[in-house]
Amino acid sequence: MTEWKQKTIAEHTLALERGEYSSLELTHAYLARIREQEPLVHAFLLVDEEGALRLATESDERRREGKLRSPLDGIPFAVKDNFCTAGLRTSCASRLLEAFVPTYDAAVVERLKQAGAIPLGKLNMDEFAMGSANEYSAFGAASNPCATDHVPGGSSGGSAAAVAAGEVPFSLGSDTGGSIRQPAAFCGVVGLKPTYGAVSRYGLVEFASSLDCVGLVTHTAADCATLFSVLLGRDERDGSSVAFAGSREDSFGTPLRVAVVKEFLESDAVSPAVKRATEDAVRALTAMGAQIQTVSLPSPQQALATYCVLSAVEASSNLARFDGIRYGASVGETETLSALYSQNRGGYLGREVIARILFGTCLLSRGNRERYLVRAEHFRSQIRRALLDILASCDLILTPTAPTTAYRKGAKLTPLQRREADLCAVYANLAGLPALSLPMGRDEEGLPVGIQLMGAPFSEFSLLKVAQCLEERRSL
């Protein structure tokens, strides 16, 4: 299996068909790679070696009998630790859920297992998905495989790092405000956030219900399209899921019409290396025959503030159930019920999660609701209208994925600087639009740079085809 860890899903599928190796051999190889890389990367919180080898053996048996379930049959993967997995701990990287073992699989895990894919384990993340660096995991930070003294991004840092390190060929993550795309950019892999509702969130421990999407991390856009076609669609168990309105045959017309956001090319928050990569993408698209126009978006700082308000409010509500009584760890008996809540949550939740819960609760208090929440909802509507107006005359919107490349672990960043990691990404979540991050070169230190392609609802396959064309030009 020469250079197996660098192979894509498509390459593994072809190799398995040709009998170059079995699923069991492939799974053994990835498990060995995990053991080799984890002291450096710490992308995994749990590895289910026994379960993975059993499923790989079953896949090989299906192959011998000619009963393969899909092109993914026999391909290993891993999932972020906020997806429920039957019989495997789901901790959300929190001490509060350190002993929580679900009795069922999340819908996306269920679909992948039905397709014959093999889950290897659970991936590191910021606690309850709250963070942009994977430094808020209760079980230790993950590292960027491209430079292990740098962060992998967050909150799906483990999902991006595992793929970039060659520990799995693909992974699942969740995206609330760039939580898949930003780490994908930092680690030099492809990350997709689908249209809101296109993929079921059943079994996902949510951070902010109106923003969260289940997404994918892969080596290539083609792999992303293969995975997305398996996961998309209506799920009766998730009331927000919808029947997908697109098709894998979809593509944008000719010539391709691309909108470039001037605020990000002019912003001081965006590093020179990221601006150069965005300009390189514009030149590549122009060489492909695309028509480029410059557009303006509603204020990035206002969009970021809107995201911070809405996500904190929803986090306050969603995490109320984790009180150590119905779910999670408990300190034991206390004199009052109020003291029990306080000590359970205060003792087992991290400081970042507590801060966001308190902020969201404050925003929901009398007076603040009208002053902040109502205004944030109004501005969210303006953002969606503005984006849809642009996409009525353009096929896609091109921006940087993140304002900078990966920064060093332990960097003394202000809260605003940490929030600005999501500056370019939050628009897609606020408007419910599909967006993907694609590697586009490296900075002076050799760190990956990502660009973002954002489209109209259900344009995922069209976006992925453009991304494939850019990948091909980059490889020339």
Catalytically active residues are: 80, 155, 179
Name the nearest CA neighbour of 418 among 265, 269, 266, 214: 269
Which residues on neighbouring strands pair with residue 44, listed in sequence order?
A: 123
Give the phi and the psi of residue 46 in degrees, each rounded to 5: -155, 135
What is the gyration radius of the CA atoms in the chain, in angstroms?
21
SS (H, E, C) 18-84: HCCCCHHHHHHHHHHHHHHHHHHHCCEEEECHHHHHHHHHHHHHHHHHCCCCCCCCCCEEEEECCEC
Which residues on neighbouring strands pair with residue 215, listed in sequence order?
A: 173
**Pair of tokens at residue 122:** 């659970």
Q: Which residue has the tokens 């039905």?
A: 114
Q: Which residues contact 14 (CB under 8 A, 6 or more apart)?
A: none
Instruction: Sheet with 76-80: list strands edge to edge.
Output: 44-47, 118-123, 76-80, 170-175, 213-218, 190-193, 435-442, 448-455, 396-400, 257-261, 291-295
Gap between the Cα atoms of 160 and 162, Å rounded: 6
Using DSSP, state whether 88 is helix, strand or coil: strand
Q: Which residue has the tokens 């990287």?
A: 93
CB atoms within 10 A of CB 133: 28
